[in-house]
Amino acid sequence: MTQRHSAALGRICVIGLGNVLLGDDGFGPLVVERFRCEYNYDATVEVLDLGSPGLDLAPYLHGKDLVLIADAVHSNDTPGTLCFYSQTALLDRKALLHLTAHDPGVGQCLAQLKLAGHAPSEVFILGVVPESVALGSGISASVSAAVPAAVQSIATLLCDYGAPCKRRIVQEKPNLWWRSSLPGETCRADFMIKQGIDHKIAQDQRQFLFWIAREMQG
């Protein structure tokens, strides 16, 4: 695969879609968070949990070389089955054939960006067939079993596109805050507030330097 603007910051976007409070709908956010913690990758890759943004997805697809979206998808396959779809599959479908729960947003954003000349060059959907999307912050056993393979396939796809990533020996602990405890277990709020300002400075700084670098390069 040809490498384009290989040095460009954030030219590749790995996006998790879905509502973490609705069972298996939280597959996307879970998978990208696990990927972020288990792999090393360079600054060409941005990893984002975007929830279910509808049309607000567009800014994150704008001008990218490669977008990989992890999401729950519809299919007659058994729950937990993983599947890949390309951009053509998304755009060619009639608007009513919803591939994923968030497809009206994905499809419309892609079509708009294409007309405006800012569509991403390549888009892939990494889907899982959900077992249950009922209210609750955990995912089912069948979907859970598919997570390691999903995380690994993100890495494989990025390597295919010239963005090498390597599995870390020392992995970060994933921040799965939505599974945070109910009373009786330890509460995270104290920790959050204590760490808040330090964390905020670090995050602000990172995001800010990232933007500056991107602006200068553009």
Binding site for other proteins (CB under 8 A): 18-22, 25, 49-56, 58-59, 62, 72, 74-75, 91, 94-99, 101-104, 107-108, 111-113, 115-116, 118, 130, 133, 135-137, 177-178, 180, 182-183, 187-189, 192-193, 196-197, 199-205, 207-208, 211
CB of 66 to other proteins, least distance (A): 19
CB of 133 to other proteins, least distance (A): 5
d(CA 164, CA 218): 23
- Report the run of H or E that residue 124 belongs to, with start and end: strand 122-128
d(CA 166, CA 159): 9
User: Closer CB to other proteins, residue 1 or residue 184?
Assistant: 184
DSSP class of residue 45 equals E
User: Closer CB to other proteins, residue 65 or residue 71?
Assistant: 71
CB of 185 to other proteins, least distance (A): 11
d(CA 97, CA 120): 22
Taking the chain, what is the end-to-end CA distance rounded to the nearest angstrom?
24
CB of 108 to other proteins, least distance (A): 5
- Residue 5 burial (CB < 10 Å; 0-12/13-18/19+)? exposed
User: Closer CB to other proteins, residue 131 or residue 157?
Assistant: 131
